[in-house]
């Protein structure tokens, strides 16, 4: 601890012009790595914007922005709590199923004549309950989150299927139905993106600027050590899953409004998209590394790319390949140097015992 402090002060003490070397030692390498990935994301974003503007003269218009936002809105909202869950080394695959279930709850209640406000409230409560179920099984029973949330993704969508076998047909009240398909008056900002912006600022503030937020990194890097450092690991785990359930149900409400109908198959398969976006944003699947800025950039890239490729009538298949390729690049590029080093060491170190390699991917 004190050693770090000394290092941190070295550049300031060593004269008016701190050397790069001093700056480098003051920063933990993890942070530099993250910084580099986010820089790469900015470059990729600029590239995608370039591709978009090259393909269509009408690319830099409000309409493009609106539709890009409208398409990515719910994914973006769900990515925020997932970011925090991945930061603590867990995963939530039930996000899209919760989106469908909460939408179904809202749809069923609305169709049966309940007032709209009550229907929305019930949808949000559904999110809380579902999140609490996940959280209880994972945090208090200590079950692996990947297995639990594969189970609850089937369960949630299954319940949605029971309560709402057919998509709703009763239109939502006009004054709220327009929220899903029209921008905020006077702007080109869809409501879902407005909600996302508020949540993103809140998440960024929490994660990067509060002690409890910073403690998520500690949990992700070493849960036992975090526990001994006085962080209530179990409770944080539970709360994050509850939060995820709540936020995903909010996304479910917006999704139903956007499609002006609720369906148990809403957002089918979207969980993997959300996970992909978060991981592409530079969040380590093992936890402890990642930033809100990275995820926001990743979302922006996916949204712009989708819009650009669609405008240029590139098939959805190519978009899939690009998405997968980017995701793969996000783990390969930061590891390429290490892989190269490993190969070099192996070549040089022939004859003497090889050093123990880093832990091979303890996935998931």
Q: Residues in the site for another protein, rule: CB under 8 A?
A: 93, 137, 141-144, 146-148, 150-159, 161-162, 165, 269, 272, 275-276, 279, 285-286, 315-325, 327-328, 330-332, 335-336, 338-339, 342, 356-364
Question: Which lies closer to another protein via its Cβ, residue 86 or residue 123?
Answer: 86
The tokens of 350 are what?
């022939």
What whole-number distance in Å separates Cα of residue 297 and Cα of residue 305? 12
Nearer to another protein by Cβ, of 14 and 335: the residue is 335
Minimum separation from the CB atom of position 271 to another protein (A) = 9
Helical (H) or strand (E) element with 250 = helix 233-259
Cα angle 314-319-324, degrees, rounded to a multiple of 5: 155
- In this complex, which beta carbon is closest to another protein, that of residue 78 or of residue 137? 137
CB 252 within 8 A of CB 103: yes
At its nearest, how many Å lie between another protein and the CB of residue 275?
7
Closest CA to 88 of 242, 279, 236, 235: 236
| Torsion 26-32-34-35 (CA) sign | positive
Query: Who contacts 294 (Cβ-Cβ below 8 Å, separation ≥6)?
Result: 34, 37, 38, 41, 281, 282, 283
- Minimum distance from residue 253 beta carbon to another protein (Å): 22
Nearer to another protein, 120 or 299 (CB): 299
Q: How far is the CB of 211 from another protein (least distance, A)?
A: 29
Q: Give me the least distance between CB of 221 and another protein, in Å please.
A: 15
Radius of gyration of the chain (CA): 23
Looking at beta carbons only, is 100 or 195 nearer to another protein? 100
CA distance 91 to 134: 11
């Amino acid at each position: 601890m004190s050693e770090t402090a000394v290092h941190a002060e070295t550049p300031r003490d060593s004269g008016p012009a701190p050397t790069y070397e001093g700056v480098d030692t003051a920063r933990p390498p993890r942070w530099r790595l993250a910084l580099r990935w986010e820089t790469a994301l900015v470059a990729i974003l600029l590239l995608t914007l370039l591709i978009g503007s090259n393909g269509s003269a009408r690319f830099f218009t409000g309409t493009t922005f609106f539709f890009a936002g409208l398409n990515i809105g719910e994914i973006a909202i769900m990515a925020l709590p997932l970011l925090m869950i991945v930061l603590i080394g867990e995963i939530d695959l039930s996000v899209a199923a919760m989106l469908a279930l909460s939408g179904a709850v809202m749809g069923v209640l609305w169709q049966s004549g309940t007032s709209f406000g009550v229907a929305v409230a019930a949808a949000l409560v559904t999110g809380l309950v579902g999140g609490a179920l996940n959280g209880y099984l994972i945090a208090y029973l200590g079950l692996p989150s990947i297995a639990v949330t594969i189970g609850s993704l089937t369960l949630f969508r299954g319940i949605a299927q029971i309560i709402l076998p057919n998509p709703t047909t009763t239109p939502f009240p006009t004054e709220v139905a327009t929220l899903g398909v029209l921008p905020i008056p006077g702007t080109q900002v869809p409501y879902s993106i407005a909600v996302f912006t508020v949540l993103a600022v809140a998440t960024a503030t929490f994660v990067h600027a509060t002690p409890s937020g910073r403690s998520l990194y500690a949990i992700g890097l070493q849960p036992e050590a975090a526990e001994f450092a006085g962080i209530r690991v179990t409770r944080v785990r539970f709360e994050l899953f509850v939060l995820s359930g709540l936020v995903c149900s909010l996304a479910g409400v917006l999704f139903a409004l956007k499609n002006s109908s609720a369906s148990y198959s809403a957002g089918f398969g979207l969980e993997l998209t959300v996970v992909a976006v978060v991981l592409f944003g530079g969040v380590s699947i093992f936890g402890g590394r990642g930033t809100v800025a990275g995820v926001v950039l990743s979302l922006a890239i996916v949204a712009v790319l989708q819009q650009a490729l669609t405008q240029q009538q590139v098939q959805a298949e190519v978009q899939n390949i690009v998405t997968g390729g980017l995701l793969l690049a996000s783990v390969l590029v930061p590891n390429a140097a290490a892989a190269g080093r490993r190969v070099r060491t192996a070549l040089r170190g022939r004859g003497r015992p090889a050093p123990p390699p880093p832990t091979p991917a303890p996935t998931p």
